[in-house]
Structure 1
């Protein structure tokens, strides 16, 4: 009698190649273009993407069976390499990544191809849950999940997602297709809302059969597009398929955190040391959808540049508006070691008075400096004695305990103090009055980074500014 299979093993048997090439095949992207056109389009996207390798972008054509072509992605985890495969539906090309975990197709498949180029895409993900908690070591396995994202010719978006949040949760958005059984999505149990068979049914109606081996490489053709680091990338670990699966997809094997050095087959970094063609990097050229705020974004970007020692870019985000967020900064490092800062700004911020935009620009940028990298504000972060004084001042204003995480309050005050130390900017009544004129968020709305939040609001920050000598003085803090 054969051993009893777990739910994860039963699902894996239904996936591509029985799941033997997971995690690579856990998430598969599809581009509605023939293979040769898709390879050119993908390479051009990489040339203008945030990934900027020293050695350029290599493109190599290969032939073989599906398993042989998947082997061209090895080693996993080191560098970045994409495999583009033809399918039996000549309109669609499949793409997979040399990932050791979860492939990140967000920029190409959800931004570049559908929005910038008008090319339909589909992203399919199905990962068995096999998480196993162990008494004396870290848990093994993956949490599992299932998702489908679609952007069609008309710009129509459709998404379905089943994810493990202890318990499982199901979500779907966009307009359903006629062939979907929408009543199923109201099933009492989340797992019954979006089973594997439903994912297969929708994909087949869209012309795809992502979990069948014979759907791929009918003529044995594929392309590898890869970043060429010339062996200079630091910190990149090289995993064999077995090492990448250990402790995750194969939970009977102990996790491999330090793979065998170099995996002797791949000493130099790129699996294809002599690509058929090497194309230069062109610098990051993000696609920006035209909006009514384009001029205001450029003006705000100029304000950001006045305070930045790094290259900086501003962009519009209407989604942040729903969370009550004015602006959100992020710092990133490219493949060549370059560092840049991006700031997402909301229409509310872009339409605010100049003093608000200027102070916010300083707040967004001065968290980082060239000399101290990502921890510039730490020189101003209050110590325990100073925190006690800050809490007392808040109590006097009836604002303690804080209504947000205390670290967020101290961080905000530290950056405010830094701005006043290194610039001529000050918090003023103009900022406070503008904040008071804004509509209050509805009860229950998220308020992270929200200027209207009373713990981090400009009014209380201006009050703290008036008590600077009481907080930041040599009696409490001897730092220079």
Structure 2
């Protein structure tokens, strides 16, 4: 089972995706208010392109700042998908948690699928499923994660309240990579109504939310991919 949007050709933009139980226009308004407060400026522009076209509005990719966020409607009525241009592909995690737990106070999810590093010199692999919401101080209701610490060496961790759809028996597998497989990650997402790696799941209206954050270490998509060894 593939857990890669657009066959990975837009990674790292598609390594991680946030989801929020609120329509995109509401998320956009809250983000503009938040960015205006913390970055002295925020603006939302409606986009009418395909998801791929809209994702290509996110570069330059950055490290240490968050100047652009893409919001897309989804086939799950009333839910918004969120992407952003972190050059390492993980930046949307913190923002999704903040929106779910504090700014919007709604159910949210964060999913991440990064292929194993192997011999490519690319980023270390990851499979992550976070259930988020205002129930806890930091927003983490349930987390299941498989993280590659070094090439070929994995760390598994699960925390919070076990959900009915989880394959808890797999968590005891001898081989760590078998404790949270791609199939399990896709299955958990499907169990809550999400199809993160299916292009047809995403709809318009979409919004590009920008702010006045200082852009540090800018990269084109091609430069970011080369830096991560994704084109090798």
| TM-score, structure 1 as length reference | 0.44
8 Å contact 1:35–1:92 — kept in the other structure? yes
Query: 2:30 aligns to what SS in structure 1?
Result: helix
The offset of 1:41, in angstroms, is: 1.9
2:112 maps to 125
8 Å contact 2:18–2:111 — kept in the other structure? yes
8 Å contact 1:120–1:150 — kept in the other structure? yes
1:21 maps to 10
Structure 2 residue aligned with 1:226, among 210, 215, 220?
210
Structure 2 residue aligned with 1:45, among 31, 34, 37?
34
Name which of structure 1's ranges 121-130 and 111-120 shifts more when overlaid on structure 2: 111-120
8 Å contact 1:122–1:151 — kept in the other structure? yes
Query: 1:72 aligns to what SS in structure 2?
Result: coil
Q: Over residues 194-238 of structure 1, what are the superposed CA-to-partner deviations in whole Å (9 max), with x where a residue is unaligned?
A: 001101111111111101110011xx3210111136xxx4x7343
Distance 1:86 1:59 in 2: 14
8 Å contact 2:97–2:133 — kept in the other structure? no
8 Å contact 1:35–1:86 — kept in the other structure? yes
The offset of 1:100, in angstroms, is: 1.1
Does residue 196 (structure 1) correspond to residue 176 (structure 2)? The answer is no
1:57 maps to 42
Instruction: Map 1:424-463 to 2 at 5 A.
Output: none
1:238 maps to 218
Structure 2: 5+ residue stretches without partners: none
8 Å contact 2:115–2:124 — kept in the other structure? yes
Instruction: Choose 1 or 2 for highest CA Rg.
Output: 1
8 Å contact 2:11–2:89 — kept in the other structure? no
Structure 1: 5+ residue stretches without partners: 1-10, 134-139, 253-480
How many pairs are equivalent? 225
1:67 maps to 52
| TM-score, structure 2 as length reference | 0.87
Structure 1 residue aligned with 2:198, among 212, 224, 235?
212
Cα distance 1:183–1:26, how it changes in 2: closer, same or farther (>3 A)?
same
Cα distance 1:108–1:251, how it changes in 2: closer, same or farther (>3 A)?
closer
Q: Over residues 226-269 of structure 1, what are the superposed CA-to-partner deviations in whole Å (9 max), with x where a residue is unaligned?
A: 1136xxx4x734322211101414252xxxxxxxxxxxxxxxxx
The offset of 1:106, in angstroms, is: 5.0
Cα distance 1:153–1:207, how it changes in 2: closer, same or farther (>3 A)?
farther
The offset of 1:105, in angstroms, is: 3.5
Higher strand share: 2
Cα distance 1:115–1:44, how it changes in 2: closer, same or farther (>3 A)?
same
8 Å contact 1:22–1:249 — kept in the other structure? no
Instruction: Map 1:55-454 to 2 at 5 A.
Output: 56-77=41-62, 80-132=67-119, 140-152=121-133, 157-166=141-150, 167-217=153-203, 220-228=204-212, 233=214, 236-252=216-232
